[in-house]
Chain A
């Protein structure tokens, strides 16, 4: 398996506050990888750092054989890295279809098109002329995913796409994952729901306080290990 994304000792800062301390993560071609971790562990920060939303100048992030750390976010996007941001962030004054179309602004060629996205999420067809924000939470999430797919990414980053959604809706959305992978896109999901992460991913990284505390294929990790990596060592106390 060839490596698609690789970070080496990645650090990230908000002003003087350090949010990531030497994070090593790799995603292979065709893989689905999950990042788990408690609130504030640094998962979103990790995504922001690799997409260029947070400055990562002088660091080591290689993507598709290219060094992307420090590039402006729009250049990284054009290299084939797309993100579904935390909280969906649809553009309120754009319709559903316009939200999708704007995802294709980078001009990358590939399997994804408006028709393909509507095929993946048929619910959106009837809503295509509605403002993006007039949809249900699940449908908004579909638009956000579709918008990212429209750029025909090599790697799709999804930040907590199940947050605040009903179990049935979460199931619908995760059903799209295999079909996205079929198109040749690798996936990195951030999930707070550990069960969901274990079910979908071939490898899991657990973050805590800006560091990777555990990683490996779901089958090889025990519940106790995960709990320890997730909450810190004092598992009993934290679980209470």
Chain B
């Protein structure tokens, strides 16, 4: 029974990992860009939420709105001002610029918030749970996280495949060079993609703040989880990313069930095993 419970909790945890990963997946899909500071942006959103709610005493609903708006505008501007300059065939500039950003963000957070690990008190969400059987109960927060992940991915899927914006994003992904001949502005389209990804990063950060303890150095691990979910799921497939998150979550909770020290390691090992067996992921699109 403990194993069934581990799997159930792992699936729910996978929702959080899918939220970590969805933005990364989107940015790679549209502009073949990998942001190594992705995890640090998630942690920044978590700190922002924490500061607004506990520091300034703002109502959580407004805080959520504010975090998402702040992330959206920061994402758009970051792409327009900085990241667009380093897009291109040469891999080194984007890798180094985002790696540099990662170091800057971690140390800036350290400067502002100290190295103490923090967590956002989610009130009744933390304690409420649904009892499925003797040994298995589902916490309200993990359930909400999973529902949010499904909702976010469904929304991204809708934008991508059912709207004019999504059409433009897919066209840009195919052949950015001639998009201007359709009246599209690449710099703007890329920034819109980053804006959407950043909103998802904001949502992920808010859940991270409530779910676990975090500290300024928590970003890189989040980047790795996000990356693993994307690769397990298969590049370019958003539902694949959800599946990848779930597999990673289950691997981790089962690992933790064996020995607390194995949680993260088990996730990495399952990822490497899938990379060996299915290099293109489980639901590849590209």
Contact = CB atoms under 8 A, between A and B. Distances in A.
On whether A and B touch (CB less than 8 Å), the answer reads: yes
Interface of A: 51-53, 72-74, 77-78, 82-83, 85, 89, 91-94, 98, 101-103, 105-107, 147-148, 151
29 contacts: A52-B180, A53-B177, A53-B181, A72-B185, A73-B181, A74-B180, A77-B180, A77-B181, A77-B183, A85-B178, A85-B181, A89-B175, A91-B171, A91-B174, A92-B174, A93-B171, A93-B173, A93-B174, A94-B167, A94-B174, A101-B167, A102-B167, A103-B182, A105-B168, A105-B183, A105-B184, A106-B183, A147-B182, A151-B183
A91 B181 CA distance: 12
Nearest to A87: B178
Given A91-B174, A91-B175, A94-B171, A53 B184 contact: no
A91 B180 contact: no
Interface of B: 164, 167-168, 170-171, 173-175, 177-185
B168 A102 contact: yes
Given A74-B183, A85-B178, A105-B168, 16 more contacts: A51-B181, A53-B180, A53-B181, A74-B185, A77-B183, A78-B183, A82-B181, A85-B181, A89-B178, A91-B174, A93-B170, A94-B170, A102-B182, A105-B183, A107-B183, A147-B182
Nearest to A73: B180
Contacts of A103: 182
Most chain A CB neighbours (cut-off 10 Å) among B168, B179, B181, B182: B181
A93 B175 CA distance: 10
A74 B179 CA distance: 8
Contacts of A74: 179-180, 183-185
A72 B178 CA distance: 12
Contacts of B183: 74, 77-78, 105-107, 151
B182 A105 contact: yes
Contacts of B182: 77, 102-103, 105-106, 147, 151
Nearest to B166: A98
A77 B173 CA distance: 20
A66 to B, nearest CB: 16
